[in-house]
Amino acid sequence: MSDMRVNLGRVALREAIATVRTGLWPVARLRPLPKPTPRPTRGLAPVVLVHGFLGHPDCLRNLARHLLISGVPLVERVAYPSTTSDLPHIMGAIGDVVRRVHAEFGPVDLVGHSLGAVACRAWLKTEGGDAYTRHFIALGGPHAGTAWWRLTPPWLHDVLRPDGPWVRNLSVGPEPVPTTVIRARYDQQVFPPQRAQIPGLHEVVLDGLGHNGLLWDRRCHQAILQVLTE
């Protein structure tokens, strides 16, 4: 029991640090992102990143940095006001960015965190996003809702309520593109953490992490890169 308490204490500390780092996204702008260094032999495609509720595109700079250093030819981040946007608005923002990148570079890889992951999946399954997308990676997405849905704005209740219409509708039928779930074993926002699963799909479960820790952990970054290069 004492070992479990120590482990959970470490997870809580790491998640607190990750949350503070995520919230300090204006500071992240002080460090420029590296220029892309394409490595076509690795088969990497442009990547579009989508943040979650209470997030900001600059919350994804650390992940974008790792992808660019690893040879991803282009990393774009979708911007939307996360405290006022409903799911259709977020889906529209994703579509605008992906279609623009696709027009110049061809098929993209899509990575969404938290609510952004649900919005990506909804766009792929209901708006024909599979025509533009090669792979989709969901980071800590509440695909089966979360026990904390009542604490979110009313316009997200239908998305995050475990028996809500979006959860039911998105569970119908296969995923339209190859999809991988990466989630934290101790996710405190998608609760219980198993609600980040998509039944029948391959998943990577990372120990020692919480919800925001996925954005900063190198194991998560490497897992993403491994999927994109396969």
155-171 pLDDT tens trace: 999 999 999 999 999 99
From the number of C-beta atoms within 10 Å of its C-beta (0-12, 13-18, 19+), residue 23 rates as: middle
For 84-110, the pLDDT digits (tens) are 999 999 999 999 999 999 999 999 999
Domain of 176, CATH number, reads 3.40.50.1820
- 52, 142 contact by CB (below 8 A): no
The whole domain housing 113 covers 2-229
For residues 144-151, average pLDDT? 96
Q: Is the pLDDT of residue 6 over 80?
A: no
AA identity, residue 150: R
Token pair 């999946």 in the structure block, residue: 121
What is the DSSP-derived secondary structure letter of residue 180? E
As a whole number of angstroms, the distance between CA 230 and CA 219 comes to 17
Predicted TM-score (pTM) of this structure: 0.93
* pLDDT above 60: residue 11: yes
Q: What is the model's pLDDT at position 52?
A: 96
What's the number of domains the chain is made of?
Answer: 1
